[in-house]
Structure 1
Amino acid sequence: MTETTSKSERSELVDTIERYVRFWNPGADDAFTAETLVEDVEYCAPVGVLTGSAALVDFRRQFTDHMGSYEFRRRTAPDLHHDRARLSWELVTATGDSFAEGTDVLTVADDGRVRAVTVFLDRPPAGFDAHA
Structure 2
Amino acid sequence: MTETTAHAEQPAETSSGTGTGSRSETALERYLRFWNAVTEPEQRRLAASTFTDGVEYRAEIGILSGAQALMDFRNQFVGHVGTASLRHRERPQIHHDRARVKWEILVGDGEGTSFAAGTDVIVLDDDGRISSVTAFLDRAPEGFDPAAHH
Fold conserved (TM > 0.5)? yes
Letter in 2 for 1:115: S
1:92 — aligned with what? 106
1:24 aligns with 2:39: no
Q: How far apart, CA to CA, are the structure 2 residues paired with 1:80 and 1:5?
A: 10
Unaligned runs of 5+ in 2: 1-12
2:127 — aligned with what? 111
1:34 aligns with 2:77: no
Letter in 2 for 1:92: L
Q: How far apart, CA to CA, are the structure 2 residues paired with 1:19 and 1:114?
A: 10
Using structure 2 for the length normalisation, give the TM-score: 0.82
1:46 — aligned with what? 60
Q: CA deviation at 1:2?
A: 5.2
Q: How many residues are matched?
A: 131
Using structure 1 for the length normalisation, give the TM-score: 0.93
Contact kept in structure 1, 2:86 and 2:105, CA below 8 Å = yes
Contact kept in structure 2, 1:88 and 1:101, CA below 8 Å = yes
Q: CA deviation at 1:25?
A: 1.0
How large is the Cα RMSD of the aligned pairs? Answer: 1.3
Cα distance change of structure 1 residues 98 and 118 upon mapping to structure 2, 3 Å threshold: same
The one-character-per-residue Cα deviations of 1:70-110 (angstroms, maximum 9, x if unpaired) are 11010000111001000000000124110000000000111
Share of identical aligned residues, percent?
A: 47
Contact kept in structure 2, 1:5 and 1:80, CA below 8 Å = no
Q: Which runs of 4+ in 1 moved over 3 A?
A: none
2:74 — aligned with what? 60
